[in-house]
Structure 1
Amino acid sequence: MRAISAMLISLMITASQALASGGAPEGEGLGLLATLFIGFGVMIVLFQFIPGIMLLAGMLKGVFSLGRKDSQETPVNQ
């Protein structure tokens, strides 16, 4: 039983050291094409954001002016 415990403990210690040692080489970061692709995606999102804000402003203007329009109308035929 002692031998099994000692073996398991030694395996856990070496396994944790092996997993913590990230043996992969250092990456170079993003390349030029990847940076341009991400920038292009950001530009698409920004160019869609501006018309969305304008549409939201138009909807809010329509919702809040609807109540004013109904209250200002008076019946002509009485």
Structure 2
Amino acid sequence: MKALKKIATSLIILALAAVPAFAGQQGESSGILTWLFLGFIGLIVVGQLIPALVMGFGMVKGVLGHSDDHSHKHNA
């Protein structure tokens, strides 16, 4: 979990450091509809990413966790 936190923190820092590189570009300004569209796409990506991460952590937990041996035979 600490490794995931370190990776997320470093990605945020790198993203913030890249912002001034784009500040020097001059061009047409994007309209509000463009930003709304990009925000909507971002919500879709995050909405798909959260369940995938939860399922991935569940699979890793299931593989690395202890297993109860339920293979003994029942005498009825």
Q: Per residue, is there more helix in 1 or in 2? A: 1
Q: Whose radius of gyration is greater, 1 or 2?
A: 1
